[in-house]
A and B are shown apart, each in its own frame.
Chain A
Amino acid sequence: MKQWNWRLISTHAILIVGVCFMSLPVWVAFATSTHSAEHILRNGLQFWPGSDFVETYRQVLFVDGGVMKSVLGTTMLKNSLILGIGFAVGKVIISMLAAYAIVYFRFKLAVPLFWVIFMTLLLPLEVRIIPSYEVVAGLGLLDTHVGLIVPLIASATGTFFFRQFFRSVPDELLEAARLDGATAWGFFKDILVPLSKTMIAAILIIMFVVGWNQYLWPLIMTTKEENYTLVIGIKQIYQILAEGGELPQYQKAFALTILATLPPVLVVLVFQNWFVKGLVESEK
């Protein structure tokens, strides 16, 4: 029995090292964010929280010029929430509608249109950044929520996911609904949507995280500070730190990373089961 015990101990040891590797940087970021700038500069990173928690986060969230030149942390938080929620909701609606048409209707252009949607997998934003920027600028959508969210929501992932799910719905449901005289819209609204509730929740969670974490697109899309999301604020504070100054505000930089991390992490932790299910299912 002794040998078996050693194996168990080594298993736990490996897992604990893994947990430390994954969690320690974030913990250090949090602990350091609660110390004063002088203290950090003198003593380096911190492993235990200090006394400046309230002061730092108040500065970052509520004080004008506390972290960026003119934008408040709360404004960036709001922009991030709009992007995360808008992206998730928009993506679910658009991809459900498209998937419904492709699975439940017989129409001439079904196959070509499916390929058009499929093509988006080949065109990640990174390979079309500059012309995309020009299109959005041409439409006068720079620095708007529409210009920020809409170009992001049309990619194929959501549509594939719902297509897969709708195909697993038994055919008898539609037959029965049609006997009862259901219209195309009625069947969608009254039967398919309620049936997909769990799937919708899972996709909403994943897409919220994906939307919240968008970087490249908001970076080139937003020129005014008031439209910055928290993730874009990260870039800005990087610049401020790189430029230097007499006393680098490391604690504020760390506070910003914590604020940008917290909401998506909470969503993932609270809805862990849906999230894992959605992630694993959607990639199949």
Chain B
Amino acid sequence: MKRVQFEHSAIPYLFVAPQIIIILVFFLWPAAQAIYQSFLLEDAFGLSSQFVWFRNYEDTIFSDSWLQAAGFTIVFSAIVTFLSLALALLLAVKANEVIRGASTYKTTLMWAYAIAPPVAGLMGNLMFNPLIGDMYKFLNAIGWDFDHKLDSFDAGFVVVLISVWKQVSVNFIFFLSGLQGIPKSVNEASMMDCRSPTRRFWTITFPLLAPTTFFLMVINITYAFFETFGIIDTTTRGAPGGATNTLVFKVFQDGFRGADLGGSSAQSVVLMIMVLALTVVQFRFIERKVHY
């Protein structure tokens, strides 16, 4: 906090008012509605509803389709997070090593940040199009009986590949700036002590990057949970048979397509709890980082 502050009764409220009003109307109220609706069961015509306690939760969360989506989301998030972090770290370390062409590499590796997930999704979708897609033809030519419309593993492969592609650049930017933040003297000292660049990386550089890596893990999990909606909506749409449904995609499907308000709200509330858990983890970590 500041030592010197203004002392006014009304003015600060005027300043925070715009943000607080928008939050009340468009964040807290809808969220409260979601929680309320998750306890209601509407009849088929949406005319009346009754309070059913946790029945919506039991019905949706213990249903096979929700469990399938939850399973896919967890595996999908783990793979996307790991692959996009690993690739980005490799590229950042290499980009940090070179002198000639460093800024060209940096620019060409980071600009994909600006591409929207659904745009990446449609591009990828067309690359895997059975009629014109070279990726589709290529994978079949090398002996992989590839068909993402029918095979759930292949469909998962497509969404993972596109999601990783979209996420590498933002991780790259953070890793590179993390690497550049390591003092020259540390690097020089480690070079005196250890000749193997690989060992130097794992014993000096990687531990120093740990805060960045941890922070990026949270960002990437959030990305895989929520922002990949646009990718899935323009590629597999959960096909085949719900095998590539993420939890968020399922909320959208059940709520808007299926008009199952109570069930969809119950799923939303479960997602809220997951975000809460992630945020708590993140802030615990940031608190610790301050003490370093």
Contacts and interface: CB of A to CB of B under 8 A. Distances in A.
A129 to B, nearest CB: 7
A45 B134 contact: yes
A106 to B, nearest CB: 5
Given A215-B229, A220-B256, A15 B105 contact: yes
A196 interface: no
Nearest to A219: B233
A91 to B, nearest CB: 10
Nearest to B168: A22
Interface in A76-128: 93-95, 97-98, 100-107, 109-110, 113, 116-117, 119-124, 126-128
Contacts of B269: 127
A114 to B, nearest CB: 9
A172 to B, nearest CB: 8
Contacts of B174: 279-280, 283
Given A19-B108, A122-B275, A105 B134 contact: no
The secondary structure that dominates the A interface is helix
Nearest to B230: A215
Interface in A141-170: 150-151, 153-155, 159, 167
Contact of A213 (B116, B165, B256): B116
Interface string B10-33: 011101101110111111111101
Contacts of A63: none
A11 B229 contact: no
Contacts of A58: none
B114 interface: yes
B118 A41 contact: no
A231 B33 CA distance: 29
A23 B108 contact: yes
A68 interface: no
B5 A104 contact: yes
B256 A116 contact: no
Contacts of B31: 123, 127-128, 131
A54 interface: no
A120 B23 contact: yes
Contact of B126 (A130, A250, A267): A250
A171 B3 contact: yes
A257 interface: yes
A100 B17 CA distance: 12
Contacts of A279: 170, 173-174
A238 B15 contact: no
Interface string A3-43: 00001100110110011011101101100100000001100
- Residue from B18, B30, B219, B222 with most neighbouring chain A CB atoms (10 Å): B30
A123 B27 contact: yes
B268 A128 contact: yes
B226 interface: yes
Interface in B245-264: 248, 251-252, 255-256, 261, 264
Interface in B58-108: 87, 90-91, 94-95, 97-98, 101, 105, 107-108
B238 interface: no
A29 B123 contact: yes
B22 A154 contact: yes
Contact of A215 (B23, B27, B117): B117
Interface in B269-292: 269, 271-272, 275-276, 279
Contact of A154 (B19, B113, B177): B19
A129 B18 contact: no
Nearest to A188: B15
A229 to B, nearest CB: 10
A185 B11 CA distance: 9
Contact of B5 (A105, A116, A159, A237): A105
Contacts of B113: 209, 268
B111 interface: yes
B122 A253 contact: yes
Contact of A135 (B19, B30, B116): B30
Contact of A12 (B24, B29, B98, B133): B98
A134 B33 contact: yes
A15 B2 contact: no
A254 B126 contact: yes
A220 B117 CA distance: 17
A34 to B, nearest CB: 15
Given A97-B19, A131-B30, A257-B123, A104 B2 contact: yes
A155 B144 CA distance: 45
A264 B197 CA distance: 38
A102 B16 contact: yes
Interface of B: 1-9, 11-13, 15-16, 18-20, 22-31, 33-34, 37, 87, 90-91, 94-95, 97-98, 101, 105, 107-119, 121-127, 129, 131-134, 137, 165, 168-170, 173-174, 177, 197, 215, 219, 222, 226, 229-230, 233-234, 248, 251-252, 255-256, 261, 264-265, 268-269, 271-272, 275-276, 279
12 contacts: A15-B91, A18-B109, A29-B126, A94-B18, A104-B2, A120-B27, A124-B226, A126-B252, A126-B268, A272-B107, A276-B173, A280-B177
